[in-house]
Amino acid sequence: MVSVPVSTTINSDEVEFLCRADESLLDVLRNRLGLMGAKEGCGTGDCGACSVIMDGRIVCSCLVLGAEAEGRTIETIEGMADGNELHPLQKKFIEHAALQCGICTPGFLMAAKALLDANPDPTEEEIRFWLAGNLCRCTGYDKIVRAVADAAQEMRGKRA
């Protein structure tokens, strides 16, 4: 199989890589670029563990070809914290104990970030609806929803 050369932007860094034509963006991130934060849960777009933000929209990186990243802007969990300073969502997930095994957490955080980027003041229903494509088998969803609502409130306070 012919390799596809790709130039893209990941977490504000210009990145170039070669990948197989049928290789998913998730496999590129994990196996070629060493970005292991996005997880493979189902590989079929049902669980959201591989969620990344591409050109401002949350997507399942298992359902994107690596080749499709050409010219795009990708954000992954590795770019969420500002140096050693955790993102408010990350802090609130810890504070509310909104994680146990952690496999779903990067996907939840990226999806929650995409939500708050689009809607800084979501209702509980909007949070639950938005995050319905992210599955957690440990915590139940209450702590996650509360962490997102709390982070949203804190971030709104900072903006004001």
Partner 1 sequence: MRYERPKTTAEVTNLLAGAVGRAFVLAGGTDLLVRMKSDDFEVDLVVDIKAIPSMSEISETADGFEIGAAVPCAVLGENKALVAAWPGVVEAANLIGSTQIQGRCTIAGNLCNASPAADSVPAMVAAGAHARIASPDGAKIVAVEEIPVGPGETSLKKGEFIEAILIPKRSPRSGDAYLRFIPRTEMDIAVVGAGVRLTLDEQGGIESARVALGAVGPKVVLSEEAARAIVGSKLEEAALDALAEACSAASTPIDDKRGTVEFRKHVVGVLARRAAKLAYKRAGEN
Please give the residue ranges that form the binding site for partner 1 (CB under 8 A).
Answer: 1-2, 4, 20-22, 24, 43-45, 48, 51, 54, 57-60, 62-65, 67-68, 70, 111, 114-115, 129-134
Strand positions, DSSP E, the chain:
3-10, 13-20, 51-54, 57-60, 73-75
Residue with structure tokens 């994680």?
99
Spacing of C-alpha 53 from chain mean position: 6
Nearer to partner 1, 114 or 147 (CB): 114
Spacing of C-alpha 122 from chain mean position: 18
In the three-class reduction of DSSP (H, G, I as helix; E, B as strand; rest coil), residue 46 is classed as coil
Nearer to partner 1, 31 or 86 (CB): 31
The least distance separating partner 1 from the CB of residue 130, rounded to whole angstroms, comes to 5
The least distance separating partner 1 from the CB of residue 70, rounded to whole angstroms, comes to 7
The least distance separating partner 1 from the CB of residue 153, rounded to whole angstroms, comes to 21
